[in-house]
Amino acid sequence: MDKNFQEEQYTGIVKFIPPLYEQRYQFIKDLVGKYKPKKVADLGCADCTLLWMLKFCSCIEVLAGLDVCASVMKEKMHRLSPLPGDYLQPAERSLTVTLHHGSVAHKDPCMLGFDLVTCIELIEHLEQSELKKFPEVVFGFMAPSIVVISTPNSEFNPLLPGVMLFRHPDHKFEWNRAQFQSWALETARRYDYSVEFTGVGHPPAGMENVGFCTQIGVFVRKYPQTSESAQSGKPTEAAYKTVFKAVYPSLKDEKYLQNAVVSEVIFTAQIIKRSLMDRLMLEHEEYNDDPTEKKCKFQPSFNCLSEDLGKLVVEKSMEPFVNGNVVYIPLTTIFSFPKVNRLCGTFEKLHKLIAGKVTLSSDGSAVMFNTEHENEEN
Ligand code: SAH
């Protein structure tokens, strides 16, 4: 027996573990993991649960939801807003989440340019007239690389407790596999897509002939879109109303990148400074033990460099050093730390991002710390 399926009675009272809706969402998550789409739209997104799950997929940069019922979308849409942690540690990718109020029977330019469009348990809610327009809107107009459509498989219904006609009172129809597949194949043929059929919710042992509880068609566009085909005959007038928009903090945004780099530079410089000071303290102690031997080693690095000599050492060396009460940490050393390096990419960018935000030596080659107050505190 399938692991996701629990048969409570032989008579066919079935229960899915995890619940069927979760299995449908997991199917989409797996597909996202496989194809790594950047822009994903969920049509008939209802309370935005799938969108909320998808916001954690790091390949996605644009998420959009559409539903004809604004109130159901608004119920839990706050879950799509950035959290304090997103601001404290902005992600490397950018992410914008938008919710639109409107119908899949209408075209709106905000739905252009998506890589993946999901329609989970949507089509069976459409009136005949809406279902007729749906293929032209989704496949003809939106024309994403991949479309996923899921809908109940009516052949499974006799196994579901309490289902008389349809699984939900708002369903306008429920198709068996042959009906769904002939509609899907005709749609795919007309709009140059290929389609493969699968599903979630396995039937109980011995009843495999009914097929999956939820049937799924995965449509893949056969030819890449040219910029001409993407634009031709596409209306530019909006038909949907935007009800929610969240732009997540991202390191792609110079403002957040600068904050991250400045904190990382200060943090790294503090670590280097601490280890330098510890080393000097150790040398100092050794010097006191045997003043004749250690004197030369200690003197140049602590308190005795003239301003000019200090500058020269910074220029010539990657070594941090102390001059009087000031510790110099060369930027080249800081840049060699992997996190700083990854954040900035180039040394020039590091310079640019910290300019005016971090105290640098007069030639701009080293981060400076004054140890005076620190010593007082200690
Ligand atoms: N995809 C969700 C919800 C399925 S219920 C899930 O898997 O749980 C179907 C949703 O489609 C409802 O929220 C309903 O309001 C919406 N819907 C119905 N007709 C629609 C239309 N013409 N355009 C857009 N959404 C529609």
Note the pLDDT tens digit of each residue in 126-137.
Answer: 999 999 999 999
Q: Quick check: CB of 266 below 6 Å from ligand 1? A: no
pLDDT at 228: 65
Q: Where do you find CATH 3.40.50.150 in the chain?
A: 20-248
Confidence of residue 11 (pLDDT cuts 50, 70, 90): low
Q: Which residue's CA is the nearest one to ligand 1's atom 3?
A: 46
- Judged by DSSP in three states, 77 sits in helix
pLDDT at 232: 61
Q: Show the CA angle centred on residue 91, arms to residues 90 and 93, nearest 5°.
A: 135
User: Over 80: is that where the pLDDT of 85 sits?
Assistant: yes
What is the whole-number distance in angstroms between the Cα of residue 110 and the centre of ligand 1?
A: 18
- Helices 254-289 & 291-298 angle (0-180, nearest 10): 160
Q: Quick check: CB of 69 below 6 Å from ligand 1? A: yes
Q: Considering the domain 20-248, what is its CATH architecture?
A: 3-Layer(aba) Sandwich (3.40)
By most ligand atoms within 8 Å of CB, the mutation choice from 26, 50, 67 for ligand 1 is 67
Locate the ligand 1 atom nearest the alpha carbon of residue 25 and give its number: 7
What is the whole-number distance in angstroms between the Cα of residue 114 and the centre of ligand 1?
A: 19
User: DSSP string of 64-75?
Assistant: EEEES-HHHHHH
* Closest among 114, 52, 38 to 82, alpha carbons compared: 52
- Between CA 41 and CA 231 the distance in angstroms is 19
CB 114 within 8 A of CB 39: yes
Report in angstroms the alpha-carbon separations of 80 from 115, 237, 251, 326. Answer: 20, 27, 19, 47
Mean pLDDT over residues 266-284, rounded?
90
Bridge-based pairing of strands 146-152 and 214-221 is: antiparallel
Phi-psi region of 121 (alpha: psi -120 to 50; beta: other; left: phi over 0): left
Confidence of residue 227 (pLDDT cuts 50, 70, 90): low
Q: Which residue's CA is the nearest one to ligand 1's atom 11?
A: 44
Lowest mean pLDDT among 82-91, 100-109, 165-174, 281-290: 281-290
R_g over Cα of the chain: 31
Q: Which residue's CA is the nearest one to ligand 1's atom 18?
A: 125
Locate the ligand 1 atom nearest the alpha carbon of residue 126 and give its number: 19
Q: Which residue's CA is the nearest one to ligand 1's atom 20?
A: 68
pLDDT at 270: 93
Residues 31-61: b if buried by 16+ CB within 10 A, e if exposed: bbeeeebebbbbbbbbbbbbbbebbebeebb
What is the whole-number distance in angstroms between the Cα of residue 68 and the centre of ligand 1?
A: 7
pLDDT at 313: 45
Residue 76: both structure tokens together: 């839990």
Q: Quick check: CB of 218 below 6 Å from ligand 1? A: no
pLDDT at 66: 98
Confidence of residue 12 (pLDDT cuts 50, 70, 90): low
- Between CA 10 and CA 107 the distance in angstroms is 48
What are phi and psi for residue 99, nearest 5 degrees?
Answer: -115, 135
Q: Quick check: CB of 265 below 6 Å from ligand 1? A: no
- Between CA 238 and CA 101 the distance in angstroms is 11
pTM, rounded to two decimals: 0.85
CB 331 within 8 A of CB 367: yes
CB 240 within 8 A of CB 137: no
CB 117 within 8 A of CB 144: yes
Lowest mean pLDDT among 307-311, 316-320, 359-363: 307-311
